[in-house]
Amino acid sequence: QQQVKQSPQSLIVQKGGISIINCAYENTAFDYFPWYQQFPGKGPALLIAIRPDVSEKKEGRFTISFNKSAKQFSLHIMDSQPGDSATYFCAAVVQGGSEKLVFGKGMKLTVNP
């Protein structure tokens, strides 16, 4: 059973465009929602994260929007750059105790110059 569903699986955008990645979750106990970025040959690295008591969080060109009632959250990458080309994973976790991140399947982003 996939607890975090991510879409689309891949996305191609032009430099300067907006990239949008959507995720939906099932477990209402999740209380922390991070996004990880993974470049080829590297491990995932934390990009930005949000808690459900906040509807939006912005860090530079990256913004998370969170809809608690719909159990959905999304990542928006503004002014996408070729260096943003990577695989993006949304994740969710119940913090406290043995924290186990549940990842989505990932979205491969390609930003063309």
Partner 1 sequence: ETGVTQSPTHLIKTRGQQVTLRCSSQSGHNTVSWYQQALGQGPQFIFQYYREEENGRGNFPPRFSGLQFPNYSSELNVNALELDDSALYLCASSSQTSITGELFFGEGSRLTVL
Q: Smaller CB distance to partner 1: residue 2 or 67?
A: 2
Residues 21 to 80 in contact with partner 1, rule: CB under 8 A: 32, 34, 36, 41-46, 49
Amino acid identity for residue 28 in this structure: T
Shortest distance in whole angstroms from residue 108 CB to partner 1: 9
Interface region with partner 1, contact rule CB under 8 A, candidates 13-21, 60-68, 70-78, 93-101: 93-101
Q: Which two tokens stand for residue 25?
A: 């979750």
Long-range contacts of 78-84 (CB under 8 A, 24+ apart): 78/18, 79/16, 79/18, 80/13, 80/14, 80/15, 80/16, 80/17, 80/18, 80/19, 80/109, 80/111, 81/15, 81/111, 82/15, 82/111, 82/112, 82/113, 83/111, 84/19, 84/109, 84/111
User: Which residue from 13, 20, 48, 101 is in contact with partner 1, where contact means CB under 8 A?
Assistant: 101
Shortest distance in whole angstroms from residue 79 CB to partner 1: 25
Q: Smaller CB distance to partner 1: residue 84 or 106?
A: 106
Using CB under 8 A, list all residues that contact partner 1: 4, 6, 32, 34, 36, 41-46, 49, 89, 91, 93, 95, 97-106
